[in-house]
Amino acid sequence: MKLIDTVRTSLCVGALVMAGAYSAPSSAVVVVWSTTNAGSPAVGSTAGNTRTYAANSGTTTATASAFSDTNTNTSPRTIESAFLVSYGTSGLGVTNRDACTTYSSSCDRNEGTSPEHSIDNNGRYDSVLLSFTQAVVLTGVNIGWYSNDSDFSVLRYTGTGAPTLAGLAYTALTGNGWSVVGNYSNPGTGWEAINATGQSSFYWLVVAYNSAFGTINDGCGGGDDYIKLAGVKGEVLQQVPEPATLGLLGLSLVGLGFARRRAK
């Protein structure tokens, strides 16, 4: 009976340690993704182009794409892909599909020219989707340029699979897998701390402030917001077995081998 108990104990310990190795607490590494270079690929001549950015540490990348609610055939307007434009050291801007030079309810006058070459909410609501290769806890957004006002909203995706923005109104996002992280009032240029509760996701959305995601107290009197995204930072979450876990697993396997030899 003692030999059988030894074998059982070794097997149980091994199983428990293996389970612990796969459910161990995630380790976090703080990294920065700067979007002040063109990214890869450097150019995009069609709506829906993407740019990929490396982290300053580690291998987790962020792929950026642009969206805006330019589908005027629906009410409210629904989201379509837009042009993601790199402006060097000031960061990323968005040019939506509705650019025109005359006043019209069916187009966005002066879109693509300053200040509407940015992520803005004048006429249409522009946004940048960031898709990461690992789950991240974003903790900061870097505004590289702004005009007039710089309010913005941040959402994270909590649904299953990859998110779909096209065809949805901004007002429908929270019913389709998106959660509001926060609305941030006129930070100006530089880093703005976000996500105080430490939530994580593979997908994050930075939007020129939209009241559909809540109200903010704008001490500068509000008005249209125009910002460029110069980067984001946060913690990369990775499931890794801890050294102590691996050591316990090794001991359990040694015990199992010893018990088997005794049984022969």
Q: Are 95 and 210 members of one domain?
A: yes
Q: Is 234 a residue whose pLDDT tops 80?
A: yes
Given a contact cutoff of 8 angstroms between Cβ atoms, the answer to whether 149 and 190 are in contact is: no
Q: Are 88 and 190 members of one domain?
A: yes
Least confident of 43-52, 78-87, 148-157, 192-201: 43-52
Q: Are 104 and 139 members of one domain?
A: yes
The secondary structure of residue 149, as a DSSP letter, is B
pTM beyond 0.85, yes or no: no
Q: Is 187 a residue whose pLDDT tops 70?
A: yes
Q: Are 120 and 6 members of one domain?
A: no
Q: Output the CA torsion sign for 49, 42, 59, 35.
A: negative
Peptide bond into 41 cis (omega under 30): yes
Structure tokens at 215: 């109200």
What per-residue confidence (pLDDT) applies to 206? 98
pLDDT-derived band of residue 243, with 50, 70 and 90 as boundaries? low
Other CB atoms within a 10 A radius of the CB of residue 262 amount to 11
Alpha-carbon gap, residue 211 to 171, rounded angstroms: 9
Q: List pLDDT tens digits, range 39-95.
A: 988 776 789 999 999 999 999 999 999 999 999 888 999 999 999 999 999 999 999
Which residues form the domain of 57?
25-240
Q: Are 66 and 15 members of one domain?
A: no
Structure tokens at 122: 């004048």
Taking all residues of the chain, what is their mean pLDDT, rounded to a whole number? Answer: 83
